[in-house]
């Protein structure tokens, strides 16, 4: 019993010790918790203090920035005020200076007026003579400026070339697909004719297409030698009271002309490539001719001065806008045939010409020599009328041939002509009619043009056509109609023959004089 009591007391003692230990542990944990809470409170207080210090610093910074902005605005306002004051002073000074100049001019004008009033009749005569001399001096200067302007225009010729938009070559390709080579050639010639040249340099052009070589062949009218002034300028010679030219050296005039025609040919090459489709035209050849008179015989001649051909890649490699480009050296680079003396019209043989092998021609007949003084065109035989038309075009400076009467496919003659009205390699239908030429004839000519790949078509008639035919030709754009009254004027102008047209009645809008009848 006593032993059990002792054990019980031991257990109670152990339990008391355990409670005491737990109490100590609890007190220790409470102390630790209070210490942690105190530390957290201190940390929060320090963080709050830091935030407050930062806010104060930012407020100070904003305040300083606002002060700097105000100071800057104040400086700008002060500068603006100072500038306005300075400009006002300058304006006032300028007004004062202008006023002084005006006062000086007024005083000078008053002095001149007083001097003029004192002039005698002799002084007035001398003044008139002086004015005349000044007019002539000014005229000499004007002429000199005109020569210099022409020379400068020649130098800038390559830079002024037309640069068609890509849509132009696309349109030419579409014309080729729709209307064949002749339609494409017509589109290219249209672009070439729209290129703006200085006055006197806008020569006509004709063209043909060689499909087997994808080559465009162009015949180009070059300016005559007299387009280059033999005078470098003009001066007033007081001793003779006359304006006299200051002549260039002949070598200088010839050199200017040689460079000029070289630039025209190079410019036409570039414009032809730009206006034609690259897939259809890979090469362009140009023959440059001059229409003039033989100095020995007085007969019309047409020498070829430049013949050149170039591929598209060759032209792409040439920088025509380079100021130091020598046009004559450029032609030599392209292996062109160039007249050694172009100013003297020494010709060269063209590298390539229009292909006329597709037509069959007959021997020429001199119709004009056998005509009466006032022949009636309707009394001519058809073949005589065709040869008369051929002689007319030749008198106009063109090459022409009459085709065989049988199986001529609707072609009465073939003409190579660079005139802007007709232009190109042309097929001609000659209609010796006494009645109106119907629309079917105009449609047939359009078909022949496409079949023969002709650049142009010309219908020549002794009678007239209707409005529908004229509108069709205008829409076609490559067709020319020469009615009887126009034919009469052309024959009189170029062959010097006065013809009659014995129609039964006067066509609409004509007069009896258009038929060759004398006015009543």
The whole-angstrom separation of Cα 84 and Cα 469 is 76
Question: Residue 243, CB half-sphere, CA atoms under 13 Å: how many?
Answer: 16
Q: Which fold has domain 368-515?
A: Trna Endonuclease; Chain: A, domain 1 (3.40.1350)
Element housing 460 (H / E): strand 456-461
Element housing 152 (H / E): helix 121-155
3-state secondary structure of 248: coil
Please tell me the predicted confidence (pLDDT) of residue 296.
Answer: 84
What backbone phi and psi angles, to 5 degrees, belong to 284? Answer: -130, 130
Domain residue extents for the chain = 133-344, 368-515
Q: What burial class does residue 227 get, using C-beta atoms within 10 Å of its C-beta: 0-12 exposed, 13-18 middle, 19+ buried?
A: middle
Please tell me the predicted confidence (pLDDT) of residue 419.
Answer: 47
Please tell me the predicted confidence (pLDDT) of residue 518.
Answer: 62
Helix axes 439-451, 467-476, angle to 10 degrees: 20
Please tell me the predicted confidence (pLDDT) of residue 365.
Answer: 53
What backbone phi and psi angles, to 5 degrees, belong to 20? Answer: -65, -40
Instruction: Kindly state the tokens that stand for 62.
Output: 């904003």
The whole-angstrom separation of Cα 124 and Cα 508 is 65
Category of 100 on φ-ψ map: left (φ > 0), alpha (ψ -120 to 50) or beta: alpha
Please tell me the predicted confidence (pLDDT) of residue 213.
Answer: 82
Please tell me the predicted confidence (pLDDT) of residue 342.
Answer: 92
> 52-89 burial, b for 16+ CB within 10 Å, e for fewer?
eeeeeeeeeeeeeeeeeeeeeeeeeeeeeeeeeeeeee
The whole-angstrom separation of Cα 76 and Cα 71 is 9
The whole-angstrom separation of Cα 193 and Cα 203 is 9
CA distances in angstroms from 275 to 167, 216, 423, listed in the order given: 9, 11, 17
Instruction: Kindly state the tokens that stand for 114.
Output: 């007083």
The whole-angstrom separation of Cα 449 and Cα 479 is 9
What backbone phi and psi angles, to 5 degrees, belong to 249? Answer: -70, 140
CA Rg, the chain, in Å?
48
What backbone phi and psi angles, to 5 degrees, belong to 399? Answer: -95, 130
3-state secondary structure of 412: coil
The whole-angstrom separation of Cα 508 and Cα 438 is 15
Category of 477 on φ-ψ map: left (φ > 0), alpha (ψ -120 to 50) or beta: left
Place of tokens 């800057």: 72
* Angle value at C-alpha 427, between 424 and 428, nearest 5 degrees: 120
Category of 504 on φ-ψ map: left (φ > 0), alpha (ψ -120 to 50) or beta: alpha
pTM above 0.85, yes or no: no
Element housing 237 (H / E): strand 231-237
List helix spans (H) across 336-420: 382-395
Please tell me the predicted confidence (pLDDT) of residue 229.
Answer: 92
Instruction: Kindly state the tokens that stand for 307.
Output: 């013949």
The whole-angstrom separation of Cα 432 and Cα 108 is 81
Please tell me the predicted confidence (pLDDT) of residue 406.
Answer: 43
Which residues does 131 contact at the CB level (< 8 Å), separation at least 6?
A: none
Instruction: Kindly state the tokens that stand for 64.
Output: 């300083």
Per-residue pLDDT for the chain (520 aa), expressed as one digit of tens each?
A: 667 777 788 888 888 888 888 999 999 999 999 998 899 889 888 989 889 899 998 889 998 988 898 888 888 889 889 888 888 888 888 898 898 888 988 888 888 888 888 887 888 888 888 898 899 999 999 999 999 999 999 999 999 898 888 899 999 999 989 888 888 998 999 899 888 888 878 777 888 888 878 899 999 999 999 999 999 999 999 899 999 999 999 999 999 999 999 999 999 999 999 999 999 999 999 999 998 888 888 888 889 999 999 999 999 999 999 999 999 999 999 999 999 999 999 999 887 776 544 544 444 455 555 565 678 888 888 888 888 888 888 888 766 665 555 444 556 666 665 444 444 567 788 888 999 999 998 988 888 877 766 667 889 999 999 999 999 988 887 889 999 999 999 999 988 888 899 898 899 889 988 888 765 4
End-to-end CA, the chain: 183
Please tell me the predicted confidence (pLDDT) of residue 426.
Answer: 76
The whole-angstrom separation of Cα 281 and Cα 113 is 74
Instruction: Kindly state the tokens that stand for 500.
Output: 């009659």
List helix spans (H) across 231-326: 250-275, 312-316
């Amino acid at each position: 019993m006593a032993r059990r009591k002792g054990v019980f007391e031991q257990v109670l003692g152990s339990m008391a010790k355990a409670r005491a230990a737990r109490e100590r542990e609890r007190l220790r944990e409470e102390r630790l918790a209070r210490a942690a809470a105190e530390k957290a409170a201190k940390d929060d207080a320090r963080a709050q203090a830091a935030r407050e210090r930062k806010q104060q610093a930012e407020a100070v910074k904003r305040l300083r920035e606002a002060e700097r902005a105000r100071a800057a605005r104040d400086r700008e306002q002060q500068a603006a005020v100072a500038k306005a004051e300075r400009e006002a002073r300058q304006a006032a000074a300028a007004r004062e200076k202008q006023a002084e100049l005006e006062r000086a001019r007024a005083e000078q004008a008053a002095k001149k007026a007083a001097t003029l009033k004192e002039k005698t009749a002799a002084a007035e005569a001398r003044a008139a003579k002086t004015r005349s001399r000044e007019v002539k001096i000014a005229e000499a200067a004007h002429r000199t400026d005109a020569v210099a302007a022409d020379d400068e225009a020649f130098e800038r010729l390559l830079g002024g070339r037309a640069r068609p938009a890509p849509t132009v070559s696309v349109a030419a390709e579409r014309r080729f697909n729709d209307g064949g080579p002749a339609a494409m050639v017509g589109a290219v010639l249209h672009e070439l004719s729209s290129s703006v040249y200085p006055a006197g340099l806008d020569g006509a052009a004709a063209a043909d297409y060689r499909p087997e070589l994808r080559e465009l062949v162009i015949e180009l009218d070059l300016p005559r030698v007299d387009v280059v002034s033999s005078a470098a300028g003009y001066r007033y010679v007081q001793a003779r009271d006359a304006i006299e030219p200051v002549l260039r050296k002949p070598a200088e005039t010839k050199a200017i002309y040689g460079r000029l025609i070289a630039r025209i040919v190079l410019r036409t090459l570039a414009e032809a490539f730009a206006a034609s489709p690259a897939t259809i035209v890979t090469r362009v050849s140009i023959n440059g001719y001059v229409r003039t008179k033989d100095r020995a015989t007085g007969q019309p001649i047409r020498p070829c001065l430049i013949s050149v051909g170039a591929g598209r890649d060759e032209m792409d490699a040439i920088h025509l806008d380079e100021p130091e480009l020598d046009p004559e050296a450029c032609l030599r680079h392209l292996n062109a045939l160039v007249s050694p003396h172009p100013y003297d019209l020494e010709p060269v043989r063209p590298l390539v010409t229009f292909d006329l092998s597709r037509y069959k021609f007959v021997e020429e007949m001199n119709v004009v020599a056998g005509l009466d003084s006032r022949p009636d065109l309707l009394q001519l035989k058809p073949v005589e009328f065709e040869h008369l038309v051929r002689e007319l075009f030749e008198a106009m400076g063109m090459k022409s041939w009459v085709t065989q009467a049988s199986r001529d496919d609707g072609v009465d003659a073939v003409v190579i002509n660079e005139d802007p009205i007709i232009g190109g390699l042309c097929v001609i239908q000659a209609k010796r009619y006494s009645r109106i030429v119907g629309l079917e004839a105009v449609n047939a000519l359009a078909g022949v043009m496409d079949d023969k790949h002709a650049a142009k078509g010309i219908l020549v008639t002794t009678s007239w056509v209707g409005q529908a035919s004229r509108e069709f030709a205008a829409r076609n754009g490559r067709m020319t109609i020469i009615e009887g009254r126009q034919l009469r004027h052309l024959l009189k102008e170029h062959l010097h023959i006065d013809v009659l047209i014995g129609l039964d009645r006067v066509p609409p809008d004509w007069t009896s004089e258009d038929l060759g009848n004398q006015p009543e």
